[in-house]
């Protein structure tokens, strides 16, 4: 009996953790963000329901390709709470991603969201790396209509494998998934991380670190 109770409380703890690790369930129909409010909450304060309108739940332009003229050869167009205030407290958002041939969405993580992506044009190599100590690469080439999942927090990427442009649409399990692009965060922080630290961490000469820091 005692064992059973311990087991039950462990299960309770486990599910308690799960509940805390993700965005809480809404306590009302909606809480349309009021970005001008001075109230500080976890998310954004709600505007008065009397002032809420259909446009608070709407976004236009996702049929338009993003501008891919950049060194990545890709562009992410986000539709999260910053674009759609009605997403506040709802734990969901989306993106459109455009890629030129061989364009990449470089290795990055979303600290607050799992992502589910579908290819609507072209062909993409996608993948993620599992956490320590395995660091296994889980990768696959997707064709139009294929779907792939990037679990919350894991480093992932996409690369256009086709001869034409590629387009993907993805859903994310946060109103504000956040993004940490690995190269930018490590070599382009402000101020710089010490090149001593990075030279040791990457086991390269400091001149290599200086070169990378100058790029980001
Ligand atoms: C796309 O981005 C590039 C680089 O920032 C810029 O020079 C160009 O004018 C942009 N093109 C359009 C159509 O906005
Ligand atoms: C490449 O894309 C990432 C993620 O979208 C972005 O943070 C980064 O600034 C881009 N890098 C360049 C060189 O455009
Ligand atoms: C970081 O270091 C690089 C290379 O030494 C330098 O070009 C860059 O200006 C530095 N950036 C900051 C924010 O200190």
Could you tell me whether strands 104-109 and 115-121 are parallel, antiparallel, or unpaired per DSSP bridges?
unpaired
Q: Would you call 81 helix, strand, or coil by DSSP? A: coil
12 Cα to the center of ligand 1, angstroms: 53
Task: Take atom 9 of ligand 3 and give the residue whose Cα is closest.
Answer: 214
Does the CB atom of residue 60 touch ligand 1 within 6 A?
no
Could you tell me whether strands 93-99 and 166-172 are parallel, antiparallel, or unpaired per DSSP bridges?
antiparallel
95 Cα to the center of ligand 1, angstroms: 20
CB 151 within 8 Å of CB 110: no
Pocket of ligand 3 (CB under 6 A): 190-192, 210, 213-214
**pLDDT of res. 21:** 57
**pLDDT of res. 174:** 97
Distance between start and end Cα atoms, the chain: 59
**pLDDT of res. 19:** 43
Is the peptide bond preceding residue 154 cis, with omega within 30 degrees of 0? no
**pLDDT of res. 32:** 97
Task: Take atom 11 of ligand 3 and give the residue whose Cα is closest.
Answer: 192
Which residue ranges form the domains of the chain, and what is each CATH number?
A: 23-178 (2.60.120.10), 181-216 (no CATH)
Q: Which residues are annotated as a binding site for oxalate?
A: 105, 110, 115
Distance CA 130, CA 151 (A): 9
Distance CA 12, CA 110 (A): 27
66 Cα to the center of ligand 1, angstroms: 10
| Strand ranges across the sheet with 115-121 | 74-79, 93-99, 166-172, 115-121, 147-150
Does the CB atom of residue 72 touch ligand 2 within 6 A?
yes
CB atoms within 10 A of CB 58: 11
* Phi/psi of residue 184, nearest 5 degrees: -65, -40
In this prediction, the residues of the chain whose per-residue pLDDT falls under 70 are 1-22
pTM of the full structure: 0.88
């Amino acid at each position: 009996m005692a064992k059973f109770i311990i087991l039950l409380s462990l299960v309770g703890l486990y599910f308690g953790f799960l509940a805390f690790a993700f965005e809480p369930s809404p306590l009302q129909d909606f809480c349309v963000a009021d970005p001008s409010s001075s109230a500080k909450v976890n998310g954004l304060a709600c505007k008065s329901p009397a002032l809420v309108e259909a446009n608070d739940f709407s976004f236009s332009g996702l049929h338009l390709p993003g501008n891919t003229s950049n060194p990545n050869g890709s562009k992410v167009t986000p539709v999260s709470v910053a674009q759609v205030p009605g997403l506040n407290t709802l734990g969901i958002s989306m993106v459109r991603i455009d890629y030129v041939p061989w364009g990449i969405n470089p290795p990055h993580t979303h600290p607050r969201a799992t992502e589910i992506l579908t290819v609507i044009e072209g062909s993409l190599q996608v993948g993620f790396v599992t956490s320590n100590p395995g660091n296994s690469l889980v990768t696959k080439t997707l064709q139009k209509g294929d779907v792939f999942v990037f679990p919350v927090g894991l480093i992932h990427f996409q690369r256009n494998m086709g001869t034409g442009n590629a387009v993907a649409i993805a859903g994310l399990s946060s109103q504000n998934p956040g993004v940490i692009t690995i190269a930018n965060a490590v070599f382009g922080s402000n101020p710089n991380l010490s090149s001593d630290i990075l030279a040791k961490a990457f086991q390269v000469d400091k001149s290599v670190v200086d070169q990378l820091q100058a790029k980001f």
